[in-house]
């Protein structure tokens, strides 16, 4: 596809994909199917646009959304190690959700709290000066609170 056409397609699709994500929390396959039928654009092209822009998620978000900052300050401060900690502990990669639907993981470019680097945002709350140890403790605490909320199960 020529670049111009691809850019035009992206500028048409992005607002629709944003609306879908706001409504459903992610780009559901059924929504891609619907868009494909109504716009006469192949599903592959739609997925191509959705995956090119990393603010679109293709999996349903977990109950707890974890965003690891990999902006410059956080990257230098050890953001990748924090990402590794989550990979090891929860077994998911950025863009994925744990099979039990509890946690989802995303990477972000900068959350505007560089003085606190490295940062991790969990359920909208910024946690600064994170270490692998403090991140593990935070995840353990969330799991414990979840268990307690479910009556100790």
Binding site for ligand FES (CB under 6 A): 69, 71-74, 110-114, 117, 119
Indicate the residue whose CB is closest to ligand FES: 71
User: To 10 degrees, what angle do helices 79-90 and 132-149 make?
Assistant: 40
Task: Using the minimum distance from each CB to ligand FES, give the nearer residue, 32 or 113.
Answer: 113
Nearest distance from C-beta of residue 127 to ligand FES, angstroms: 11
Task: Using the minimum distance from each CB to ligand FES, give the nearer residue, 13 or 69.
Answer: 69
Nearest to 47 by CA among 64, 61, 35: 35
Nearest distance from C-beta of residue 108 to ligand FES, angstroms: 8
Q: Per-residue DSSP letters for 81-92?
A: HHHHHHHHHH--
Strand partners, 67: 106, 121
Task: Using the minimum distance from each CB to ligand FES, give the nearer residue, 74 or 135.
Answer: 74
């Amino acid at each position: 596809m020529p670049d111009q056409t691809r850019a035009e397609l992206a500028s048409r699709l992005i607002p629709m994909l944003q609306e879908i994500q706001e409504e459903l929390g992610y780009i559901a396959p059924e929504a891609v199917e619907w868009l494909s039928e109504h716009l006469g654009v192949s599903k592959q092209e739609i997925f191509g646009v959705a995956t090119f822009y990393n603010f679109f998620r293709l999996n349903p978000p977990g109950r707890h959304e974890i965003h690891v900052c990999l902006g410059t300050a956080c990257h230098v401060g050890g953001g990748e190690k924090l990402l590794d900690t989550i990979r090891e502990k929860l077994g998911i990669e950025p863009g994925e959700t744990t099979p039990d639907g509890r946690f989802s993981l995303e990477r972000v470019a900068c959350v505007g709290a560089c003085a606190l680097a490295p940062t991790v945002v969990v359920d909208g709350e910024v946690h600064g000066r994170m270490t692998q140890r403090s991140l593990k403790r935070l995840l353990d605490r969330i799991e414990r609170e979840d268990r307690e909320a479910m009556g100790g199960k």
